[in-house]
Amino acid sequence: MTNENHDWYTKMVRKLRINGKSSRTQQAYTRAVRQLTAHCRKNPEAISEQELEDYFLFRRNESQWAPKTLNLSYCAVRFYYLHVCHREWKLLSILKAQKEERLPHIPSGETIHHIFSCVTTFHNFVFFATVYSCGLRLQEALHIQPADIDGQRMILHVHRGKGSKDRYVPIPSETLVLLRRYWKTHRNRQLIFPALGRGHTTGATATTPMNRASVQGALARAVKKAGISHHISIHTLRHSYATHLLEQGVNIRTIQRYMGHSSLETTMRYLHLTRKGQEDAFGIINTWMSGFSHDRA
């Protein structure tokens, strides 16, 4: 990276941090602007509005980027030119890609348990059970700390949520037992799911959580072993949590709060499966999310 290119990068990261963007968002946004500079072969400050328009037409028509990819690039480039370069181009106000309306495949509760039965390691089993039974995002689950768990009130304090929003979610009793059993295998003071290292010997002193790719790969292997043909990811477990609670009658407003959704519309996409609604969410979750007992120490 040349000094000239490093200058735009430093300025952008500074503005992103001031704006409160997470480290992952910082990486995604700077990567998007770097793609723009590589395509135009010049510093982003030297790119004109017409060149920017040509770039996005190229990405849409020639590269055929998916709407999700386009929107990420739009957001990143808009942020850079508005907040770093202070340009009020009309183009920045109309950058928008049509959202894909595809609904994820939601496996049944029985299928989820079948997949979990095919997980070969205790730490991955506990991780997947926690993600599913608490409706967590991958990043949220990886960074759970012992202090986040309130065993008396049976709740989990979720930090580092999307948009830097904290929330509280119920912990089913069997999940709590699993978390305690697993923590006793490493007793790390900072993390429930620390990086274990080769031979699983570094868990007690690790300062970073398990590797994202490692847990994603473990789930993919379990899905294949279970004979499931549909694509099922870590995030599928979170979708399944919301859908299965709706099927069991939990009120949609309650699910919105547990999922950490800012808008009810985001939660309402799960309504295609059920119209039920009741208030006894804690009791329902505790009953429905049972079955996570495990023989491994």
118-136, pLDDT tens digit by residue? 999 999 999 999 999 999 9
To the query of whether residue 86 is one of the catalytic residues in this protein, the response is no
Looking at residue 278, the DSSP 8-state letter turns out to be B
State how far Cα 181 lies from the chain centre: 25
Which conformational region is residue 20 in: left (phi greater than 0), alpha (psi within -120 to 50 degrees), or beta? left
Q: Which CATH architecture has domain 3-94?
A: Orthogonal Bundle (1.10)
Q: Which of 162, 181, 225, 257 is catalytic?
A: 162
Q: Which of 21, 143, 186, 238 is catalytic?
A: 238
* Whole-number average pLDDT of the chain: 87
Instruction: Give the model's pLDDT for residue 279.
Output: 45
On the question of a common fold for 3-94 and 109-288, the answer reads no
Kindly report the CATH number that applies to the domain delimited by 109-288. 1.10.443.10
- Counting every residue written for the chain, the total comes to 297
What are the φ and ψ backbone dihedral angles of 17, each rounded to 5 degrees? Answer: -70, -40
Structure tokens at 50: 């017409």
To the query of whether residue 238 is one of the catalytic residues in this protein, the response is yes
SS3 of residue 153 by DSSP: coil
Burial per residue of 91-104, b for 16 or more beta-carbon CB atoms within 10 angstroms, e otherwise: ebeebebeeeeeeb
pLDDT digits (tens, 9 = 90+) for 245-282: 988 888 888 988 999 888 887 777 777 655 444 445 67
pLDDT digits (tens, 9 = 90+) for 179-190: 999 999 999 999
Instruction: Give the model's pLDDT for residue 175.
Output: 96
pTM for this structure?
0.69
To the query of whether residue 137 is one of the catalytic residues in this protein, the response is yes
**pLDDT reading at 32 higher than 80:** yes
To the query of whether residue 162 is one of the catalytic residues in this protein, the response is yes
* Mean pLDDT (whole number) for 202-208: 90
SS3 of residue 157 by DSSP: strand
Q: Which of 21, 123, 137, 239 is catalytic?
A: 137
Q: Could you tell me the pLDDT band of residue 86, with boundaries at 50, 70 and 90?
A: very high
Q: Which of 235, 257, 276, 294 is catalytic?
A: 235
Q: Could you tell me the pLDDT band of residue 203, with boundaries at 50, 70 and 90?
A: confident
* Mean pLDDT (whole number) for 208-222: 94
| Sequence ranges of the domains in the chain | 3-94, 109-288
User: Which among 25, 16, 15, 81 has a CA at the least distance from the CA of 53?
Assistant: 81
Q: First CA to last CA across the chain, in angstroms?
A: 49
